[in-house]
Every structure is written in C-alpha cells, then in structure tokens.
Copies of this chain bind each other. A is one copy, B any other.
Amino acid sequence: MTDSLTALIEKELAEQTADFSREYIELTDAMRYSLLSGGKRIRPRILMMFYRLCGGKNEAALPFAAGLEMIHTYSLIHDDLPCMDDDDMRRGRPSCHKAYGETTALLAGDALLTLGFAAAAKTTGLPAERVTRAIAVLAERAGMAGMVGGQVMDLRFERETPSLAELHNMVEKKTACLIMAAAEIGCILAGAPEEQVAAAREYGFKTGLAFQIIDDILDCAADEAVLGKPTGSDAKNGKTTFVTLLGIEGARREAKDLTTRALAALDRFEGDHTELTELTRHLLVREY
C-alpha cells in the first residue's frame, strides 16, 4: 500500500540519511541498508495520521515520525543479532549482521537509536513543550518499561511457557508500545486534549496486539516468498504464541475483536479518520 503519506515518509528518511560522512562508510551503509529497505512504515504513518486527525498543520511532525521509524529499525537490527533471535533474513534480504557483520550491525543499531532521538529533538515549528513531552513518551515506550523489557520477556519465554496473560503483557511491551507511542505522539505534537491522547493510546494498544497476532498467524500459514523471511520459525523454536495458545481460528477471532475495539477508539475523535480506519483494517487482512 504505497500512498502519498508513505512517499513523504520515504523522502524524509532518505533526506535525513543523505549527508552521512564517508569517514565511517561501513556504518552508514549498514544504517541505510536496514532503514531504506521498504518497510511498511506503519509507525510513522500512524503518527502522521493522528497528527493530522488532531488538526496538526503542515508537515512539522515529519522529522519526528522519521525518528520513530529509525528507532523501530534499530530494534529489528538488534533483535536479529546472533545473541538474540539469530535471524538470517529480514524483509526478504539478509539481515543487517549477515550483510555487514555483527560488530557493524550492533553499532548501526546504536547509531539509529541515537539518530532517532536527534531527529525527534530537531522538530521545529511546534511548541518545544510538546516536543520534550513527545520525546519522553518515545523513550518510555522504547525502553526498559516498553520495547526492550518486552524483548527480555520474549527471550525468557523461549525457556518458560507463558500463560495467555503473560503473553499479552509481553506483546504489549515488545510490539504494542511503539505503536502506542506513534498514536500518542501524533496527538501530543498536534496539541490535542488529554482525552484524545488517551484514546490514541488505547487505539495503539489494541492495534499493536492485533498486529502481533496476525504476525503469529502468518508465521504458521504464510508463503515464505511473500513474507520475506522463513515461516514456521516459531514452531521450530518451540515458541509459545497466540496461535499455540488459541489455535489459528481462535487467534484470528482475537485479532478481529481487537481491531473492532481499535476502530471504536477512533470514534472518539471528531475529525475524519477514514485513512486510519483503512490502515487498521488493512493490517488485519495483510499477507506479510
């Protein structure tokens, strides 16, 4: 689904990584390799859609949206490393450390995480109070109480079998937190009232969980060539997922139910949320 917003985000990402020094070309090549590899750009799109929904003007939030995508990309690079999930493929190509080596991949992740905050802090044309608050939200959702903590729990669940509640908690942190951040930050940067920030958080939470459930279903059922990475890896690793706990049909029902509730959260916004509704529905029926 390439649209004008996705094109705008791609352009911003390309521009923010265009003037890299050639002094450490192996690092910057690795950063670009992973960042500009045609992801779905879900998080920056959600950020921008909420920003516009709450009356945000121009493209002032775009650098921040690009920073969010950099932080998402760093997490993929580090998750793929040998001492983590040890994945050789990502988005249909060799993962960063397979292409550039472990050392460079680790540093490319560190540099993208840092550059993400640089991009966020350089947001101009909006009140600085909104920007500092949005950075605090981003750091909280991406850090130990969010995405990194979720990764720790995920790795633990390769050794211990989680309950459904524990799995929910892990996925909330590992996957949903950055989608929640996207939605909340869009509202914060637009200066939306607190009840809308809360509705956006709710939307991100439900959408993030649904997103992960669909990922689990695709890992069992999808065509490897379409998905761009090996399927069946969860089963192979003996990993507990929503599919192993609920079955494919149960997981599908759960994802559908979460999507319905995510869409209900959108109804708390007065503006036109057609774009967000379409994106959310599309995430449910996606094939990769």
Residues of A within 8 A of B (CB): 20-21, 23-24, 26-28, 31, 74, 78, 81, 83-84, 102-104, 106-107, 109-111, 113-115, 117-118, 120-123, 127-129, 131-133, 135-136, 138-140, 142-145, 148-149, 151-153, 155, 169
Q: Is the CB of B106 within 8 A of A83?
A: yes
Q: Give A132 to B21 CA distance when docked, in angstroms.
A: 24
Q: Across the interface, which residues of B come within 8 angstroms of A84, CB to CB?
A: 103, 106
List 16 interface pairs A-B (beta carbons < 8 Å), by A numbering.
A21-B149, A23-B149, A27-B152, A78-B110, A104-B152, A110-B110, A110-B148, A111-B144, A114-B144, A115-B144, A117-B117, A118-B143, A121-B133, A121-B135, A128-B129, A128-B131
Q: Across the interface, which residues of B come within 8 angstroms of A152, CB to CB?
A: 24, 26-27, 104, 107
Interface of A is mostly: helix
In chain B, what residue has the closest Cβ to A21?
Answer: B145
Q: Is the CB of B144 within 8 A of A103?
A: no
Q: Give A74 to B84 CA distance when docked, in angstroms.
A: 18
* A139, chain B: closest CB distance, angstroms: 3
Task: Report which residue of A26, A131, A140, A148 has the largest number of chain B beta carbons within 10 angstroms of its beta carbon.
Answer: A148
Q: Give A102 to B78 CA distance when docked, in angstroms.
A: 12
Task: Report which residue of A81, A109, A114, A117 has the largest number of chain B beta carbons within 10 angstroms of its beta carbon.
Answer: A114
Identical copies of this chain, number: 2
Told that A26-B152, A114-B139 touch, could you supply 14 new A-B pairs with CB distance under 8 A? Answer: A21-B145, A27-B144, A27-B149, A27-B152, A111-B143, A111-B144, A113-B113, A114-B142, A114-B148, A117-B138, A118-B139, A120-B135, A128-B129, A131-B132
Q: Give A52 to B152 CA distance when docked, in angstroms.
A: 40
Q: Give A132 to B131 CA distance when docked, in angstroms.
A: 7
In chain B, what residue has the closest Cβ to A169?
Answer: B23
Selected from B83, B107, B151, B169, the residue in CB contact (under 8 A) with A148 is: B107
Q: Is the CB of A143 within 8 A of B115?
A: yes
* A12, chain B: closest CB distance, angstroms: 17
Selected from B31, B133, B135, B148, the residue in CB contact (under 8 A) with A27 is: B148
Q: Give A23 to B138 CA distance when docked, in angstroms.
A: 20
Q: Give A123 to B131 CA distance when docked, in angstroms.
A: 12
* A254, chain B: closest CB distance, angstroms: 23
Q: Across the interface, which residues of B come within 8 angstroms of A113, CB to CB?
A: 110, 113-114
Q: Give A157 to B1 CA distance when docked, in angstroms.
A: 45
Q: Across the interface, which residues of B come within 8 angstroms of A27, CB to CB?
A: 144, 148-149, 152
Q: Is the CB of A155 within 8 A of B111?
A: no
Q: Across the interface, which residues of B come within 8 angstroms of A117, CB to CB?
A: 117, 135, 138-139
